[in-house]
Structure 1
């Protein structure tokens, strides 16, 4: 997908809470919105270069969204609204091999007590519920999720198991918002319960997928299937 809004670089100063950050734009300190409730501590380091997306909404308190940052030479997109859009584009373009057979793509569909990102239906009315998780945490090529505890994420996985019990397909896709990932693993040190739930879901037949992305300051699109190590 292409980002059509104006994009500019800034220098990161600090992040007082989950939703706000202060950056230096051409020598002037400005408050910006952070569209990611994760910690992103290994990316948002004081003095690092970050990328802002201009939002032309007069009702907003901030003019810009902080959508990514540079970790060395690697740009990492951190916008939590992006993964579903990238995956939807990939589904429509048949870029995800396991899910190519599904021709009907529906967003935000409820099953049981959870609302999943996608409900997919093939030509024979077989259904698959798909949950998408954005991944921004990386250490020497190893990518991990989550970077903050997520009880909601654990519940999604357990609900996907209930989908399988009713004879439908279920999958979780970890979209790695950067290039060059070597493999993906659950981040047990951050949230052991999520890791246990992911392993349990896989044992019960839930498909666990990870893909990295082609990423630039003004674009992001799905790239390659990445090995999942549990």
Structure 2
């Protein structure tokens, strides 16, 4: 998908809280919004080159969103709103083979006590619940999730298991917001309970997908299926 707003580069200075950061734009200090509540400590480091998306909302306190940063030579998109948009584009273009048979795509659909990112259906009345997780953490070439403990993520996996037991299709898609990891794994050192729940979901027939992305300053799109090591 093409990001159709003005994109500029800057240097990262500091992040005083989850929602805001300070960057250097042409020797001027600028307060910007960070659209990601994850830690991102290994990405947002002093003097890292970052990319900002200009926003013009009348109620905004900041002019820019910080959407991507270089970690050494790797450009990582950190916008937490992007994975669902990238996934919808991929579904519409049948990029995920196992899900290509579904021609009806709905966003934000509820099953029991969870609201999943997508409900997919087809003309045969088959249904499929899909949850999407954005991945920005990389260690030694391996993409990992989560980068912070996530009770909500565990809840989603439990509900996907229940959806599967009731005869629906169910899956979780890890959208890796950078290019070229060797594989994807749950980050057990950060949240072992999530990793255990992911393995349990797999054992109960929930599909686990992981795809990396082509990432540029003003675009991002789903790229290749990545090996999963549970």
TM range, smaller chain: over 0.9
Q: TM-score, normalised by structure 1?
A: 0.99
Residue-by-residue CA offset, 1:141-167 (whole Å, 9 max, x unaligned): 100000011100000000000001101
Residue-by-residue CA offset, 1:13-69 (whole Å, 9 max, x unaligned): 110111010111110111100000100111000111110000011210000000010
User: 1:110-129 maps to which residues of 2 (within 5 A)?
Assistant: 110-129=110-129
State the secondary structure of the residue aligned to 1:102. coil
Partner Cα separation in structure 2 for residue 101 and residue 172 of structure 1? 17
Partner of 1:201: 201
State the secondary structure of the residue aligned to 2:131. strand
Partner of 2:137: 137
Return the offset for 1:211.
Answer: 0.2
Partner of 1:85: 85
Return the offset for 1:173.
Answer: 0.2
Partner of 2:174: 174
User: 1:87-102 maps to which residues of 2 (within 5 A)?
Assistant: 87-102=87-102
Partner Cα separation in structure 2 for residue 64 and residue 222 of structure 1? 25
Structure 1 segments of 4+ aligned residues over 3 angstroms from their partners = none
Aligned residues: 230
Partner of 1:9: 9
Return the offset for 1:85.
Answer: 0.3
State the secondary structure of the residue aligned to 1:228. coil
Partner Cα separation in structure 2 for residue 121 and residue 58 of structure 1? 38
Residue-by-residue CA offset, 1:160-212 (whole Å, 9 max, x unaligned): 00001101110000000011111000001111111111000000000000000
Partner Cα separation in structure 1 for residue 98 and residue 173 of structure 2? 11
Partner of 1:225: 225
State the secondary structure of the residue aligned to 2:110. strand
Partner Cα separation in structure 2 for residue 49 and residue 155 of structure 1? 35
